Amino acid sequence: MTSLPSEENKDENEISLEKLKIYIGFAKFFSTLVCGTIFTSLLSFFINYKEVEIKARESELQLQLNEREELARYFRYTMEGDVYDRLNLSKFFGSVLTDPDARELWNDYHKTQEELLKKYLDSSINYQQIKANSDKLDQTESLTRILFEIETLQKLISPINIEIQKNDSRSIENISGAITGSSELTATINKLSVVGVPASFQLAMNDQARIIKIKENLEKVAKKYNLPPALLAAIASRESRGGAILNQDGLADYGNAFGIMQLDRRYHKVNIEDGPTGQAHIEQATGILANYLRQIKRKFPELSPAKQLQGAVVAYNSGVGNVQLPISDEGTTGDDYSNDVWARARYYAENIKWNGNNSILFDIPLDN
């Protein structure tokens, strides 16, 4: 998109016009002293023409400047309306403004708002269809994902008071400190009457029998990557309920993700050679987690090893770009991904006998 002219460019235009005015004034003075009547008349005609041209250009620049000054105010009014107000206003400004750059900005904004509204409506319809057709266990993670998507889109299309910056009360105590476990959204979708660490423990316990069946594969891969096997088990629990939500092809998430650790086929060349619970799949998924951990260590060398590992878990769900300080689950599925996974991992570390080292999981306290 073409950007709006800068203040520097505006100043340069004004300076050029001032120089031209000075030259014209000097030419008038010179012609009076030196030149004859005919030449003076011709020169005066040329000078008058240029003066008219300058005034027209000045008017054009002032009009564009006024529009750009109003653009910020219009945008503020637009943002404080809902998505339908934004669509109407952006369509209007995209057609009536004289500045082509400003029109382009508003037309692009209109297109973005249309796409957000369509995604929101589609997600709402999908949620109602899944909820109406099935209350089975194998739909809970899909419902969680859709509800989170709806919640996120709803924030984007709702009115925004741009004078107030977001103040996240979860900041230091809950995000960078103790593990808080399952969010209310995740607990509600899974029909639990408790939230937080107790909810995560309950969900981990529900999947424990399925986790034990793949315990040996988890241990082998964890040893290769020097990661706690209970953490891999917890990811499998969170992603696929230990395999419970997978269809006969090992797929879930509308057929986009494969295996107990849910690798998205749209972004990865998925290894399916020994099935959704096999060592090849677990090794590929854990390799991705280990790669994220290396990136987090480079990005945040000041963090403790445990917090770096938690950051890698955040990245496994939502990408390294979403990992900021303090470590936060904002932007992850359910806004609780790493906290829920870590709490489940603690449950598995304490309730399953592992051939591997889970000690790092105890370096971050659980929230009481």
**pLDDT per residue as tens digits for the range 112-164:** 778 777 777 777 777 666 666 655 545 555 666 666 666 665 665 565 443 43
Q: Higher model confidence: residue 14 or residue 51?
A: 51
Q: What are the φ and ψ backbone dihedral angles of 312, each rounded to 5 degrees?
A: -65, -35
Q: Are 210 and 241 in contact (CB under 8 A)?
A: yes
Q: Higher model confidence: residue 156 or residue 86?
A: 86
Write out pLDDT tens, residues 334-346: 899 999 999 999 9
**Highest mean pLDDT: which range of 43-52, 113-122, 147-156, 275-284:** 275-284
Average pLDDT, the chain: 77
Q: Report d(CA 206, CA 194) in Å as an integer.
A: 14
pLDDT of 207 strictly over 50: yes
**Segment 313-318 mean pLDDT:** 94
Catalytic status, residue 340: no
Measure CA 320 to chain center: 11
**Segment 186-200 mean pLDDT:** 90
**Segment 8-33 mean pLDDT:** 56
For residue 42, how many other CB atoms are within 10 A of its CB?
Answer: 12
In whole angstroms, how far apart are CA 363 and each of 132, 137, 178, 308? 43, 32, 10, 12
Residue with tokens 């690798």: 263
Among 85, 138, 219, 253, the active-site one is 253
Catalytic status, residue 135: no
Return the closest-CA partner of residue 226 out of 56, 354, 81, 356. Answer: 356
Query: Collapsing DSSP states into helix, strand and coil, what is residue 264?
Result: strand
The total number of residues shown for the chain amounts to: 368
Residue 92: enclosing H or E segment and its boundaries?
helix 83-96
Q: Report d(CA 103, CA 87) in Å as an integer.
A: 14
Among 141, 207, 239, 340, the active-site one is 239
Query: Collapsing DSSP states into helix, strand and coil, what is residue 161?
Result: coil
Q: Higher model confidence: residue 292 or residue 273?
A: 292
- Helices 337-351 and 229-240 pack at an angle, to 10 degrees, of 120
Q: Report d(CA 168, CA 151) in Å as an integer.
A: 16
